[in-house]
Chain A
Amino acid sequence: AQTVTQSQPEMSVQEAETVTLSCTYDTSESDYYLFWYKQPPSRQMILVIRQEAYKQQNATENRFSVNFQKAAKSFSLKISDSQLGDAAMYFCALMEYGNKLVFGAGTILRVKS
């Protein structure tokens, strides 16, 4: 069965600094997709970044980038130049065949000014 583990319940970062959120997963498939979602206090889930497992190149979206280690089944999110608006719950998620997303427990990110 596919599982996603986020081992950091909470993280803090100083404004303008860099923070990395960890995620590991387990799957028996070779072809799958990985996602990071952000959930601010408004509760609206927002897609931050997406990675296709068959692509070795790490995905990047502006200040957000991932470190995808397929052999280690690791998918961490790096946020550079952190801003107050980055404060949210972040979820790592895995999609295999069948379009179902499996989520981790989430990491609360606090940004200090």
Chain B
Amino acid sequence: DVKVTQSSRYLVKRTGEKVFLECVQDMDHENMFWYRQDPGLGLRLIYFSYDVKMKEKGDIPEGYSVSREKKERFSLILESASTNQTSMYLCASSLLEGRGSYGYTFGSGTRLTVV
């Protein structure tokens, strides 16, 4: 069964900490995405990547960075966590454009609380 795996289901971090959220997919997908999900706002795109070592800003990149050193792994980094980054974070992957129009495969999310 194909999968997108997020390393943590729940995380609690302190304000100012550097936080790493890890995502691994086993489907050989080119595209990978990070979204945050907040009540009443739906899912908002933070960053995405079309290939190894490539990254593009989404709609809300401020306070975040990403790393994609290998095709199967896409990491989201909170350089200095703040309480307004408390949220659910969802990772997703898809095939290249054209074939990717069949939608994304999602991980099961990481609920991050910053205290």
Contacts and interface: CB of A to CB of B under 8 A. Distances in A.
Nearest to B9: A43
Given A91-B43, A99-B94, A43 B101 contact: no
A103 B103 contact: no
A30 B39 CA distance: 30
A100 B48 contact: yes
B41 interface: yes
B21 to A, nearest CB: 14
Interface stretch (A11-19, A44-52, A66-74, A76-84): A44-52
Contacts of A42: 108
Given A42-B108, A43-B88, A45-B90, A100 B45 contact: yes
Interface in A81-110: 91, 95, 97-106
Interface residues of A, number: 25
Interface-centre pick from B35, B43, B92 (highest chain A CB count, 10 A): B43
A75 interface: no
Nearest to A97: B97
Nearest to A52: B101
Q: How large is the interface on B (under 10, 10 to 19, 20 to 34, 35 or more residues)?
A: 20 to 34
Contact of B40 (A9, A33, A50, A97): A9
Contact of A103 (B43, B102, B109): B43
Contacts of B88: 43
Interface string B101-114: 11110101100000
B1 to A, nearest CB: 12
B106 A44 contact: yes
Interface string A18-29: 000000000000
B97 A45 contact: no
A44 B108 contact: yes
A103 B60 CA distance: 14
Interface of A: 4, 6, 9, 33, 35, 37, 42-45, 47, 50, 52, 91, 95, 97-106
Interface of B: 31, 33, 35, 40-45, 48, 50, 58, 88, 90, 92, 94, 96-97, 100-104, 106, 108-109
